[in-house]
Amino acid sequence: MNGLYDEFRVALHSVWTRRWLVLGVAWAICILGWLAVASIPNRYDSRARLLVEVNQILPDDAGGGGGGQQLDQIRDTLTSARNLEKVATTTGLIGADAGERDKAGAVAMLQQSIKVVPQQQNIFEITSSVGVNSLSDADNAKLASGVLDSLITVFRDDQLRGGRMDAREGLKFLDAQIADREKALREIEARRAQFEAQNIGLIPGGSGSPAQRVDAARAELSQIDSQLLSAQAQLSAANGQLASTPATIPGGGNGVGGGVARQQLAGAQSELSSMHARGLTDAHPDVIALKSQIASLKAQADREGNGGGGGGGMQNPAYASLAAMRAERQATVSALGARKSQLLGDIAKITSQQIQNPGIAAEYDRINGEYTALKAQYDKLLGQREQVRMRGEVQTETDAIKVELLDPPSKPTSPAAPNRPLFLTLVLFAGIGGGIAAAFGLSQVRTSYATAAKLERASGLPVIGSITEVVTPDRHVERRKRLVWLAGGAGALVGLYALLLIVEFVQRGMVA
């Protein structure tokens, strides 16, 4: 323990003997450090909070995206380069005639200085940190809040004008696209009409390409096959019922059944005349079926005779009803068969034309496919134009986006950074510590011994004795004078530190 105490005394003595070195190094470190701290500009922060409400009047498919997407867009465009350039011009960071390089520099500085933090879904906290070397503290504090004021003003103006301008520009763009598609559709229609006229007889009539018409005919043929099977089954059942039903029943009468057959025949002939009057030809499936029914009724009327049944019985009404039902089902089967034959003929004709003229069919398919694609694009653009028009009307009549200032930009009274009093204090301690370290390090380099014991340990020889320093009165006066100078130098260093602190707080008071 005594050895450690002796070492401490020796170290303290070695530093004290080099006290002027300690003072000089401390002054040098403090001056350099305080100059560095003084060169750091004070940074002032201003904060504001915005409430952005999106009026979701239209549905998502007609309103240009949901509210969440619009809030994300607001967060991205709030600090866009265009807005920040307007802010820089408004706050005086750049002049109205500034070059592109100056504008880019100001925008980059503002992008680093402004932060937008979403606190909730539609509440944003905006922070502006400004510290320009060429400006005073008061100007930096004023600029920090001015930047937020200008940014909020620009953002509000953009929201008022932006939606309507976007709607007008969108309508203009869509009108141009629709006009181009309409012109292209007309050209394709003219080309298709010219192609059909040049290849008349090789291209079957009807809408759609040959392949589409074949597919449609096959689909209809499949339905007719199932209907034909059902009608044939019903006709077979009617034939079976008719075969098991007697034509006459015992008893006398005037042949009421014959009168029924003639009445049905007259009604069928009247309906045939009506069909002809409507312009239906003999090739029409309904006309063919009705003619078949008329022929059946004529045969039945001829069998019955003019007066009805003979003396042995009268016509069976059930038989007459079944005969009429069979005639109707025969007509249905005939009509379905005729339609099936017609469809098979159409399919065979189109297939034959495709085989004989594959190039014409392929070209016709290509023209129709191009027309179909352009027509789909045209219809889609018309729907989009209507959506944009509705959105523009909504934004004109109402405020689609409402911006409300919850907390106005704060007026900073003290710098947020740097903590200059703390830095000044740290530099002072660093200077004193550096001076002590320099003196102690120099004492370790020079080969001198502060005590006789250290000399004895270093040399390995016994030390007989030591002579203390004799201080004369003149020497004592000189030492006191130098001690006063040392105290004055140390006091001046501390006084300079205190002066810097006073200046710092005075500057802060001037900002407030």
Question: In this predicted model, what pLDDT tens digit does every residue of 328-344 receive, in sequence order?
Answer: 888 888 888 888 888 88
For residue 34, the model assigns a pLDDT of 94
Better-predicted residue by pLDDT, 455 or 60: 455
**Euclidean distance between CA atoms 180 and 160, whole angstroms:** 32
Is the confidence at residue 164, as pLDDT, over 70?
Answer: no
Residue 252: band (very low, low, confident or very high) from pLDDT cuts 50, 70, 90:
very low
Residue 430: band (very low, low, confident or very high) from pLDDT cuts 50, 70, 90:
very high
451, 7 in Cβ contact below 8 A? no
Residue closest to 19 by CA, chosen among 413, 445, 383, 432 = 432
How many Cα atoms within 13 Å fall on the side-chain side of residue 471? 7
Which range among 58-67, 70-79, 348-357 shows the weakest confidence by mean pLDDT? 58-67
Query: Two tokens at 478?
Result: 């000189």
Residue closest to 314 by CA, chosen among 258, 263, 252 = 252
Query: Two tokens at 414?
Result: 């003290």
Digit-coded pLDDT (tens) for 284-316: 777 788 788 888 878 777 776 544 444 445 666
pTM: 0.47
67, 56 in Cβ contact below 8 A? yes
Question: At which residue do the structure tokens 């103006």 appear?
Answer: 157
83, 158 in Cβ contact below 8 A? yes
Which range among 59-63, 144-148, 267-271, 317-321 shows the weakest confidence by mean pLDDT? 59-63
Is the confidence at residue 485, as pLDDT, over 90?
Answer: yes
The mean pLDDT value for 45-67 works out to 62
The mean pLDDT value for 107-122 works out to 83
**Euclidean distance between CA atoms 320 and 259, whole angstroms:** 10
Percent with pLDDT over 70 in the chain: 76
Mean pLDDT of the residues in the chain:
77
